[in-house]
Amino acid sequence: MFNKKKLSVLLSITLALSLTAVGCGTKPSATTDKPATAGAPIVVKFSHVVTADTPKGKAADKFKELLEQKTAGKMKVEVYPSSQLYGDKEELEQAQAGNVQIIAPSITKLVGLNPKIQYVDLPFLFPDNKAVYKFWESEANKKLMNSFDKFSLKGLAMWPNGFKQFTDNKRPLLTPEDFKGLKFRTQAGKVLEAQFKTLGAGSATIAFGETYAALQQGTVDGQENTFNNIDTQKYQEVQKYLSVTNHGRLDYIVLINNTFFNGLAPDLQKAVLDSMAEATKFEIEQAELLDKASLESLKKGGKMQITELTPAQLGVFQKLMEPLYAEFESMISKEVIDAAKNASK
């Protein structure tokens, strides 16, 4: 009889062979789990964790529309929002393996591949969107984007979401004192952990798709996110207080599996790049619009007590967190920190 052990050995060999094939640069003209059929469109899976009505969700849909149009249906984009296909950790692994072709993770979530990207979490690094966009044009950021090549991922674009704000359900967070003893959800990385430690708070890395439940069940008391993520994830149902601090950024790097991209014919590569450039312009407009719209909708909803901190109140946080720059300079590099500071001048 064909026993379970034999079956599992056979499955492992099949998996090893198919991985070897990908590693050897087999032309991935369709999804790697299905062989290409002549005439069938090349499928591009685009997986993300937010809802379809966010800047990232809308731009992913725009990219689909543009690429399918430009390639006259030779390429088909399947967009999977809301962690439907993969959550934070899995989407990164699966993009490297080529089982999903495009992802647009929050920059912070790439910390395991390149710890330097944690510049994004240094508190109060950027004063406004303009400074962020200027930094993205810098040589330092171009190097960061190229640093994912060795992990089979090609950086295609930078997409903004916006500035992060704190929310919690215990008390209004107006001074560092108010954070003492609370526990916050973080996206990933040592800088965010240190940020909360400096405030006397605890932290836990929790996948985006599990954060609502963690807030609801009290696993954590609070979190930090953009107005639009707070709004579209309905955190107002499980969080009572929101402090407008603009203390950190949440932005994305759009990544494509580079074996997949390199295997495309030049005209299709161009179509991917052109569609991405157009989708990026659209994403930037949407991020700016939806950031404001979500703040308005949270205010109108009346479920959260929203406080805009004064410059003096923010100054207290800024002074307290300043030592994090020295603490993380060797990890993030002086080059990256200086480039970000120069963009803010």
Given the rule CB under 6 A, which residues bind ligand LMR? 49-50, 106, 161, 187, 208, 225, 229, 250
Q: How far is the CB of 143 from ligand LMR (least distance, A)?
A: 22
- The nearer residue to ligand LMR, 187 or 245, going by C-beta atoms, is 187
- The nearer residue to ligand LMR, 203 or 229, going by C-beta atoms, is 229
249 close to 132: Cβ distance less than 8 angstroms: yes
Q: How far is the CB of 300 from ligand LMR (least distance, A)?
A: 22
Which residue has the CB atom at the shortest distance from ligand LMR? 106
Question: Which of 292, 185, 182 has the alpha carbon at shortest distance from 235?
Answer: 185
C-alpha span between 78 and 64 (Å, rounded): 7
Q: How far is the CB of 83 from ligand LMR (least distance, A)?
A: 9
| CA quadruple 297, 298, 300, 301: dihedral sign | positive
Q: How far is the CB of 123 from ligand LMR (least distance, A)?
A: 16
- The nearer residue to ligand LMR, 202 or 263, going by C-beta atoms, is 202
- In this structure, the dihedral spanned by the alpha carbons of residues 338, 288, 82 and 245, taken in order and rounded to 10 degrees, is 60
- The nearer residue to ligand LMR, 51 or 175, going by C-beta atoms, is 51
C-alpha span between 194 and 321 (Å, rounded): 9
- The nearer residue to ligand LMR, 192 or 321, going by C-beta atoms, is 192
Task: Read off the amino acid at residue 309.
Answer: L
Rounded to whole angstroms, what are the CA distances from 212 to 221, 229, 233, 248, 298? 11, 11, 7, 20, 16
> The tokens 């991020």 sit on which residue?
287
Q: How far is the CB of 231 from ligand LMR (least distance, A)?
A: 12
Q: How far is the CB of 315 from ligand LMR (least distance, A)?
A: 26
- The nearer residue to ligand LMR, 10 or 289, going by C-beta atoms, is 289
51 close to 81: Cβ distance less than 8 angstroms: yes
